[in-house]
Each structure stands twice: as structure tokens, then as C-alpha cells.
Amino acid sequence: MIYGKRVTGLRYGYGRHYSSPVSQNGLQFYRNRQLELYAARETKRLSLRQLVFFGRAMDEERLIKSANYVRVELPVRIAHRIRDMQALPYVVVTQESFAKVYELYWDAFEKFRRFPPIETLEQNENFCEFVRGLLNEHATVIPSLSLGLSLSSHHLSPDQLDSFMRRMLVSRISRRVLAEHHIALSNSISENKNSDPHEHVGIIYTNLSVKDSIVRCKNLLREVHDAEDALTPVDRLTFPEILIDGHTDTRFSYIKVQSGLPISRGYRNVDLCRSTWIILFSNS
């Protein structure tokens, strides 16, 4: 591992592994005062319950507080992930696909930390537009990260690779939840939805039926051919019957999209030779 080496202005298209020693507007790869300051800060985590509680009685003052929380919190979390990337072997981080991810993270870090404090609804609208743009820019992060690590995996132990990817994925989900939740809260204010009865607080669905989620995932997986796991057409696969028993009226607050991920993965990994898959809800 090489520390202190200048690898500024990583650019695309120079082969599989590359580095540009100096860029006119580049920053030092490993040594940067601002990054060190943000990476030294602790993240201020919020539970789903806290997000729901804070968002229920949303008004202009609370919305501004939410905007500034996201503005201050996200660069801290991004800085931690940049530090994780810098802790990898130098040859891994300069792999082309991985370097693209590094540049996206660095660019987002710089833009967030430079964004001025938000004091008005108009400034919040500008902030939301800024965040939407970054969310779109980072849509390809996971494929690029996966490709980069797959090409450099021989430089990392399996435990290193697994630990790094777990932190990157969990952090990415949490950041996107905070960003998308604030945007949804802002939309609820601008569209005057806050005073109407509804089952959503931001992106959080407060009346999620687990049974309905399981049935919906089952139906989708029956219809869609999954290129990762299925080598034969879906109509030739024998899917197990699902029996849902116990507290089938269970409901709680959750994010609909995320609730489908573990259910879908569990269903896809089930032994397809079994004719029945029983899901039992307990009251614990």
C-alpha cells in the first residue's frame, strides 16, 4: 500500500490501470485537510422511527432543519467511504472502473461541503435539485464498483473484499434514504399534502403489510426472468407454493422498495424442488 503518493485528477480511458500524477485542479489522493476533518467526525444516525416522528408534523421550519441535516451529514458519510477506498491497495483504486467511483465520491464530497446553509424554502428547492442531480450521477456506482473489484480481486483477501463491499453498500443505502426522504418531504410541503390523511411520511410507508409484500414479490418473480439466477425460462421452473400463516395482518413502518429486497432474495434462494414454502409470522 502506498501512502502520500499524489494521484490527482484520475481520468477515464487510459487503460485498465492508470494514474495522472498531477492535474491543474486536482487534489492529493491520500492527503487532504478537508477530507481528514470530515472523516474524523462521527456520523449522526437516525432510526426509521425517528424519521417518521420528525416528518409527521412537517412544516417550513422542520423542513429547513431536515435540509441542513442532510447537507451536513452526507459529506461526513461520504468522507468515511473515501477513506475506506484509500485504505485499499493503490493498484485497486487506480483500476479504471474503481477510479470512476472514487471520482464520483470525491466530487460529491466537495459539492456537499461547499453547499451553503439553507434558510428558505426557495433555497431548499435548489438543494433538492442539487441532490437529485447527484443521485442520478451515482446511479452507475454499484456496477462500476463491482466491475472494478472483480478485476482487482486478486489483490484483496476474501474477508477484505466482503467487509469493504458491505460497508459501501450499507452506507450507500443509508445515504440515498436520507436524500430521497428529504426530497419526498419537500414535495409534500410544496404540494400541500401534509394536512391530508395519508400513509406515507416522506418515502416511508407507515402501514406496510408484510403479507401483501410477500405476495407482490412472489408474483413479480414468477413473471420476470432473472438473468443472474435462472438458466432456463421462467415458465419451465416449478415455483413452490407459498403458505402464509400466523399474524398475517402484521403491519409496520418501512420503505416499500427495501422491504421487497430480502423477500425477493429469500424467495429466489429457496429450494425450487420443494412444493411448499411456509412463512410464519410470530408476534415477537
Are 121 and 226 found together in one domain?
A: no
The more confident residue out of 18 and 38 is: 38
Are 85 and 179 found together in one domain?
A: yes
Residue 179 is predicted with a pLDDT of 96
Are 175 and 236 found together in one domain?
A: no
Tell me the mean pLDDT in the region 224-250: 61
pLDDT > 60? residue 272? no
Cα(235)–Cα(224) distance, integer angstroms: 10
Are 124 and 248 found together in one domain?
A: no
Are 178 and 207 found together in one domain?
A: no
Cα(108)–Cα(97) distance, integer angstroms: 17
Tell me the mean pLDDT in the region 89-116: 94
**Is residue 250 within 8 Å of residue 209, measured between CB atoms?**
yes
Tell me the mean pLDDT in the region 31-41: 89
Domain with residue 145: its CATH number is 1.20.140.20
**What's the pLDDT tens digit per position in 177-198?**
999 999 999 998 877 655 444 6
Q: How many domains does the chain have?
A: 2
Q: Which sign does the torsion angle of CA 31, 36, 38, 39 carry?
A: positive
**What's the pLDDT tens digit per position in 114-171?**
999 999 999 999 999 999 999 999 999 999 999 999 999 999 999 999 999 999 999 9
Residue 250 is predicted with a pLDDT of 78
| Residue showing cell 499524489 | 6
**Length of the chain measured in residues:** 284
The CA R_g of the chain, rounded to the nearest whole Å, is: 22
Stretch among 35-49, 58-72, 171-185, 197-211 having the lowest mean pLDDT: 197-211
Dihedral angle of Cα 195, 197, 199, 204, to the nearest 10 degrees: 0
Residue 130 lies in a domain: yes
Q: Which domain holds residue 251?
A: 203-281
Stretch among 89-93, 101-105, 137-141, 255-259 having the lowest mean pLDDT: 255-259
Are 230 and 255 found together in one domain?
A: yes
Tell me the mean pLDDT in the region 13-20: 36
